[in-house]
């Protein structure tokens, strides 16, 4: 493996139904539970919630950096990230993602769309799911078409 710029390790015991996840360096520990919608008790974190936060945080950072390079203000971005488990055959699931992005400082719809497209091409989370997960992007209320 190429030498990484950053690396983290998590340990999960008990899985998504009554388990616990810990970042081994100690910054985060979460209780895990199946959501009520999947027959669990809910009331704790699940992997989809963690993925939604991670993806939105990464995407926002890329928006801000690319915005600076394009002389656009994107440091006021707000991202609502929705991650869905979608049933497919044989009791399996696939992921779906929607990033609903608000860029209040970019009034020009086409500029906002262009920035979001570039961010989607650059974001490591987008690269990781490309071709495997359907990702819908909405910026300032406009659907971003690929």
Walking along the chain (146 residues) 10 residues at a time, the average pLDDT comes out as 92 94 95 94 96 98 97 97 96 96 97 98 97 96 91
Q: What is the pLDDT of residue 108?
A: 96
Q: What is the pLDDT of residue 146?
A: 72
Provide the residue ranges of all domains of the chain, joining segments of one domain with +. Answer: 1-45, 47-144
Pick the CATH number of 1-45 from 1.10.3720.10, 3.90.1150.10, 3.40.50.1360, 2.20.25.10: 2.20.25.10
CB 30 within 8 A of CB 50: yes
The full DSSP string for 109-126 is: HHHHHHHHHHHHHH-HHH
Query: Is there a common fold for 1-45 and 47-144?
Result: no
* Domain range 47-144, CATH class: alpha beta
CB 142 within 8 A of CB 108: no
**H/E stretch holding 12:** strand 10-13
Q: What is the pLDDT of residue 142?
A: 96
E strands, 28-126, where? 29-31, 78-87, 93-102
């Amino acid at each position: 493996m190429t030498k990484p710029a950053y690396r983290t390790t998590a340990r999960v015991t008990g899985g998504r139904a009554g388990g616990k996840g810990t970042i081994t360096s100690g910054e985060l520990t979460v209780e895990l539970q199946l959501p009520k919608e999947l027959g669990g008790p809910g009331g704790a974190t699940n992997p989809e919630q963690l993925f939604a936060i991670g993806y939105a945080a990464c995407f926002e950072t890329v928006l801000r950096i690319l915005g600076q390079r394009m002389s656009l203000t994107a440091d006021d971005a707000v991202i609502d990230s929705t991650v869905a488990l979608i049933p497919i055959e044989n009791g399996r699931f696939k992921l779906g993602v929607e990033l609903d992005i608000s860029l209040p400082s970019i009034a020009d719809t086409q500029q906002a769309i262009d920035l979001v497209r570039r961010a989607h091409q650059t974001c490591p989370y987008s690269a990781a799911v490309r071709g495997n997960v359907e990702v819908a992007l909405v910026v300032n209320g406009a659907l971003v078409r690929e």
